[in-house]
Amino acid sequence: MEKILNRFLRYVSVDTQSNEESQTQPSAAKEWDLLKMLRDELVSMGVETSLDEYGYVMASLPSNLEREVPAVGFIAHVDTAPDASGKDVKPQIIEKYEGGAIDLKGVPGLQLKPEEFPEMLHYVGQTLITTDGTTLLGADDKAGVAEIMTAVQYMVEHPEFKHGPVKIGFTPDEEIGRGVVKFDVKRFGAQYAYTMDGGEIGELEFENFNAASAKIHIQGRNVHPGSAKGKMRNAILIGQEFNAMLPVEQRPEYTEGYEGFFHLISFKGSVEEADFTYIIRDHDHARFEQKKKLIGFVASFLNTKYGEGTILLDVKDQYYNMREQVEPHYHIIEKAVKAMEMADIKPKIQPIRGGTDGANLSFKGLPCPNIFAGGLNFHGKMEFVPLQSMEKATEVVLNIVSLFAE
């Protein structure tokens, strides 16, 4: 078998950064490079595989049991986040990590420090894969891709390993919230599935945020500052006023656990006009609706103050908390817990402070909790993944398959 490290390094060498400004699917043509690679690798293993026009790789391993058991699926996304470059990734491999700071040698003076990221100390003695400080790493979610592919290879090469029908899915564009918009659950053919897209080892999640985006356009009025009294409306300052009317304690930097937030993710403009964007998040649906109502009230108030048409607000729901879809099938959570315990991993059931393809899949009729892929510090240059966590994740996949075959 190809070692999971080599497989992972091959995958992160392919630039698959998705593009939120694009209207195509996949959103970036370069995502096809890895999608086609995965299709070809699966075909070369003798696995029935397809790659459709929307960039979905779907593969199926037939059951080798004499009785019927539910088909279980495993899903990961190939794209990396727009937050940092995924081009020319140069991983660093730190064997037998000793617990100190790690130089990210692509940027002089930049270090991955346990004083800033104390979770590093959980992995003393292990092999850490880091960035060189110039790009993200891509463990989100190429670690998940590598783990699933390694498990598939194991099943193919070990026919004595008993399993029911196993379904594999690789998707584009998860990082921009469009990963499974056109995913055909019926064609995929699984009754239950797991996304391998979580963080640190042991994470198991079946609750996520309810999510919406809010785009605001502010129409100001630019007048020469020498004669601006009573005439000028500065769109930048109105934008600052808008932001100041939202509760400060409900910003991401002040929240944790089940606490939701308003997150200002972009702002650009001039005196004449400005545009800015929020993401709105909350686990509780009632509080989620209250947050959307509040941002609408702020827009209405400022339109009353400065004149109708000053604020144009567009709020769109993105995804919902999958708990209500997964909880009626709690046995799939119990299987994941047992699979981790079989691998000597202590499960950490917690809510996702984010989203996952599994949320939208669950609302499409495919209950789909999320399991750790092993990486930490996603979406940035401080990203790293312990090799042993990836190996354990592969073991968990195989354990789940075994449990469904019982």
**371 and 339 fall within a common domain:** yes
pLDDT higher than threshold 90 for residue 352: no
Which percentage of the chain shows pLDDT scores above 90?
96
For the question of residue 66 being annotated catalytic, the response is: no
The predicted model gives 327-334 an average pLDDT of 97
355 and 300 belong to one structural domain:
no
Average pLDDT score over residue span 116-143:
97
Residue 115, pLDDT score? 97
Question: Can you tell me the distance from the alpha carbon of 275 to that of 377, in angstroms, rounded to the nearest whole number?
Answer: 29
Among 319, 352, 372, the domain boundary falls at 319
CATH code of the domain covering residue 300: 3.30.70.360
Is the pLDDT score of 354 beyond 90? no
Mean pLDDT of 325-333: 97
Q: Is 98 a catalytic residue?
A: no
pLDDT surpassing 80 at residue 391: yes
Alpha carbon distance 375, 129 (integer Å): 9
Question: What is the pLDDT confidence band of residue 318, given thresholds at 50, 70 and 90?
Answer: confident
Buried b (16+ CB within 10 A) or exposed e, 281-307: bbbeeeebeebbebbeebbeebeeebe
Tens of pLDDT, residue by residue over 13-60, are 999 999 989 999 999 999 999 999 999 999 999 999 999 999 999 999
Look up the domain containing 370 and give its range: 4-207+321-404
Catalytic residue among 132, 173, 174, 383: 174
What does the alpha-carbon distance between residue 82 and residue 175 come to, in Å, rounded to a whole number?
8
pTM for the model stands at 0.88
Same domain as 387, residue 371: yes
Give the tens place of pLDDT for each residue, 278-299.
999 999 999 999 999 999 999 9
| Residue 155: per-residue pLDDT | 98
Take residue 153 and report the two structure tokens written for it: 């290879």
State how far the Cα of 298 lies from the Cα of 301, in Å rounded to an integer: 5
Residues 97 and 203 in one domain: yes
132 C-beta neighbours (distance < 10 Å), count: 18
Residues 193 and 257 in one domain: no
Q: Which of 53-62, 106-115, 322-331, 347-356 has the lowest mean pLDDT?
A: 347-356
Residue 127 · residue 388 · CB < 8 Å: yes
User: Do residue 279 and residue 184 come from a single domain?
Assistant: no
Please indicate, yes or no, whether residues 305 and 355 belong to a single structural domain of this protein.
no
Residues 253 and 312 in one domain: yes
Query: Which of 296, 319, 342 is the last residue in one of the domains?
Result: 319
> How many domains is the chain built from?
2
Catalytic residue (choose from 15, 31, 79, 140): 79
pLDDT at 355 exceeding the cut of 90? no
Q: Does residue 1 have a pLDDT over 80?
A: no
197 lies in the same domain as 333: yes
Q: pLDDT, tens digit, for every residue of 140-191?
A: 999 999 999 999 999 999 999 999 999 999 999 999 988 999 999 999 999 9
CATH number of domain containing 370: 3.40.630.10
Domain termination residue (choose one: 319, 348, 381)? 319
